[in-house]
Amino acid sequence: MKQFLCTCLSLTFALFAIVQQGVAQSPNVLDGAYVKETNLTKRVIPYPHLREADVMYKRRIWQEIDLRQKFNHPFYFPLDAIQDRQNLFDVVREALLVEGSLVAYSAGPLGDDDEFTFPLSADSIRKILNPVTLVKQYDDYGEVIGTIQQSNELSSDKITRYRIKEDWIWDRQRSERYVRILGIAPMLEDFDVDGNSVGFRPLFWLYYPECRYVFANSEVYNMFNDAQRRTYEDLFQKRYFSSYIVKEDNSFNRMIVSYARGLDALAESERIQQELFNLEHDIWHY
């Protein structure tokens, strides 16, 4: 019995020494001069109440944000998450798979369903974010002997565009124009067997009013002052991004690319943008 008690005591002291050594080797380190709390505890500012009777005019449009443009780089970088920042796609991925704070909606088999009709399950989201690709197998002489299916995680550097769906509303009660973002969809570029691009398609749609609570606590780099970090919610609400119109609400429910190509599509996008500007100017001009 004495030998058993001695053995237990020796093991207890040994474990205590190991724990103490581990604590001593991992001090409380602050990577910065102060503790950041502003954006981590930031609350979402609710939208002003809007009555249907006060809506003088409304136009629904769809725009795309190209992250390859320098002005949109805060949405794209950093490619690998660091301690205090993540790119937009990593924020969305974590909210969908880890936190479960967002719901993704199917874009349909053709990628044209943006009405938040069919919520996706967690397994469906994992399949989308971990696509299966065919990998060629070669023999010792370099000849193709077959293919195998391989599942790879979709890296954030592959997402170079986002499509947003929004309503432009003119409020007669406040004499103000509002832009309410309704949905946001990450876009993935597809390629044919020869490696040529065949266009972009939305992976899924997110209901933006739900995204606001996630984006409001995700910091974004501020090139002008690192002490005044912004959040993704700030960038969207303050329209701090560059985009172009790809569709306006119309009787045919068609995209601009269905009837205009190249420079003609760009000119059509600019025409719609100028029309919205002239409309606002004419309504509030006295």
Judge whether residue 187 has pLDDT over 50.
Answer: yes
What string of H, E and C letters represents the secondary structure of 132-170?
EEEEEEECCCCCEEEEEEEECCCCHHHEEEEEEEEEEEE
Residue 31 in tokens: 């990577």
pLDDT per residue over 200-228, tens digit each? Answer: 999 999 999 999 999 999 999 988 898 88
pLDDT tier, 12 (very low <50, low <70, confident <90, very high otherwise): low
pTM of structure:
0.85
Q: What is the mean pLDDT of residues 16-25?
A: 48
As a whole-number percent, the residues of the chain with pLDDT over 90 amount to: 64
Residue type, 261: R
The residue ranges of every structural domain in the chain are 49-122+157-284
Residue 73 is predicted with a pLDDT of 96
Q: What is the mean pLDDT of residues 2-9?
A: 53
* Structural contact between residues 186 and 107, judged by C-beta atoms closer than 8 angstroms: no
Q: Counting runs of H as helices and runs of E as strands, what totals does the chain give? A: 7, 11
Which residue in this structure is represented by tokens 């040529």?
196
Judge whether residue 268 has pLDDT over 80.
Answer: yes
Residue 24 is predicted with a pLDDT of 43
pLDDT tier, 139 (very low <50, low <70, confident <90, very high otherwise): confident
